[in-house]
Structure 1
Amino acid sequence: MDEIMKCYREQNVSEALLLKIERFREKYPVPEGLRDRLVKPELPFYGREILEMAATALLEGENILLSGTKATGKNILAENLAWLFGRPSYNVSFHVNTDSSTLIGTDTFRNNEVQLRTGPVYESAVGGGFCIFDEVNMAKNEAVSVLHATLDYRRMIDVPGYDKIRLHEAARFIGTMNYGYAGTKELNEALVSRFMVIDMPEMTEDTLQRIMYGMFPDAKKAGMEQLLGVFLDLQLKASNNEISTRPLDLRGLIGAAKTIRAGLSPLLAVRMGMVNKSFDVFERELIEDVVMTRIPESMGSSEVF
């Protein structure tokens, strides 16, 4: 926690806000059985204004929806918030088969009787966790109806055949959504009204540098700058609709840097981490051209690490 807090203080996050979060943690201690649900983020979130908006809304009992294009740090922020508030976290990735039983739970036969095998929404509601709804705009109607009840101001879930669940005072729900993914749809007005919505800005050069140099402090500046340049060049082309967002992958960039550190050629590493994420031959050629302007075939791993 000290490392994360130090990073936030370096970004000049409001001390008054951090103090309120500390009081929240003290007011709602985590039960011993849920401590394994406290997940430390791999890296801190960079973006003071966005962090303050999200944390303030959560302190006031609101649920938040993080919207934006790919590689804007939505999941990183959600993970950081759960860790910062000291809450057990539960993740739900929405897809075509996600239904009410996936979220709330389903009947199961145990100890010679029918019992409810609880889902992540139920667990979060009872234990005061932070439940992260990933790609919430892929939720089908049955799942959306559960979200309506869960996120309602009455903070109560009615489980058919079982008792009503009153949401724990510390329970919060964080939704994330990308634009334009296959299978996504417009969120209905009733669902959106249950969230405070934060539009995530595109990754800036300064933020990208903080992330990559924070993870790879042993990197050589000249070589790492070329890797960062590839990402920023692709981001610009994606924002201008010249290419899709498939190769615009922060996880892929981090993975490429790891394999370069292990001795792989930078060009091969970037192909694996970013270029080959596009399966359209014409688009892949465009991406390859962008990469080659930054990373020639002759470039070796020793130029980056």
Structure 2
Amino acid sequence: MRGDLRAIDQHGQPSVTRAEPYYLPSGDEVALFEQCHARRLAVMLKGPTGCGKTRFLEHMAWRLQCPLVTISCHDDLTASDLIGRFLIRHDGTIWQDGPLTRAVREGAICYLDEVVEARQDTVVVLHPLTDYRRMLPIDKTGETIEAAAGFQLVVSYNPGYQHLLKDLKPSTRQRFVALDFEFPAGDREAAIIEREGGADRATARALVSLGHRLRGLRDRGLAEVPSTRLLIAAARLISSGISVRQACYSAVISPLSDDESLVGAMRDLVDATFV
């Protein structure tokens, strides 16, 4: 029996330790990741929003007994936010490591969620950590840190959500081993919804059927199709006593679109699924 996972957020605060994060494999992704970790290879998790990329990584950090540092990427994320900065205090100026630097020193897995949202000049600082050098230069202090044993860089990437002005450069992409994720197959997705959403099997299967129907609306202008995450949210509402239709309207339909015609079509699919 393995121990608890020690997770650390981007502000350096440890979260409450917890038991094994539930993850249901769909192929050989677990073995592939373990080999990448053993061989110090950076990994890119590719797949649509809400398909299980983050949960997979939490599960792998637990299996490997590695601290996990998670950084949510956004347009304003700077290199200093990752590496660190000098802080002025009443007793002088001190250097404070950023989350990436802490992960490098501690031998943690550093996870950049939706890395394409970060600016290109920020992403470039990752390059020396993704090849044979495995080092992090800190220009402001003149220090160069060699990555501790166990350090691994992992990023997530949603190819279907990107456009010409927001994508990873080929020089960055080719520094990672890519693991491709999709929404789980029907039986697996139903098992996940039943386990995570607390729903009975019939409800879980019906939610999967609804999800498949709604995903067919992508060609009709639906920017994002319903994720497994949304279906789990609906299952949790249903298991708490909310009516099936209201749970689906609130947890699945409304977050997807404000377009009246699309919302109407999706509500019709809910009514057709739960007769």
- Is 255-264 or 33-42 further displaced after alignment? 33-42
What is the identity percentage for the equivalent residue pairs of Structure 1 and Structure 2? 23
Shift of 1:245: 5.0
Shift of 1:253: 1.6
> What TM-score, normalized by structure 2, do the two folds share?
0.87
How far apart are the structure 1 equivalents of 2:85 and 2:47? Answer: 33
Q: How many residues align?
A: 268
Q: Is 2:190–2:201's contact at 8 Å kept on the other side of the alignment?
A: no
2:180 match:
199
1:248 match: secondary structure = coil
Gaps of at least 5 residues in structure 1 are 5-24, 297-305
The residue correspondences of 1:237-256 to structure 2 (distance < 5 A) are 237-238=217-218, 241-256=219-234
Verify: 1:270 aligned to 2:251, yes or no.
no
Verify: 1:260 aligned to 2:238, yes or no.
yes
Q: Is 1:66–1:175's contact at 8 Å kept on the other side of the alignment?
A: yes
Counterparts in 2 of 1:54 and 1:231: CA distance versus 1, 3 Å:
same
How far apart are the structure 2 equivalents of 1:2 and 1:148? Answer: 32
> What TM-score, normalized by structure 1, do the two folds share?
0.79
Which structure has greater helix proportion? 1
How far apart are the structure 2 equivalents of 1:81 and 1:45? Answer: 12
Gaps of at least 5 residues in structure 2 are none
1:233 match:
213
2:144 match:
164
Q: Aligned match of 1:212 in 170, 188, 193?
A: 193
1:146 match:
125
How far apart are the structure 1 equivalents of 2:270 and 2:44? Answer: 34
Q: Is 1:57–1:63's contact at 8 Å kept on the other side of the alignment?
A: yes
Shift of 1:113: 2.2
Q: Is 1:50–1:200's contact at 8 Å kept on the other side of the alignment?
A: no
1:173 match:
153
Q: Aligned match of 1:82 in 54, 58, 61?
A: 61
Shift of 1:42: 4.4
How far apart are the structure 2 equivalents of 1:130 and 1:40? Answer: 18
RMSD: 2.8
Q: Is 1:39–1:83's contact at 8 Å kept on the other side of the alignment?
A: no
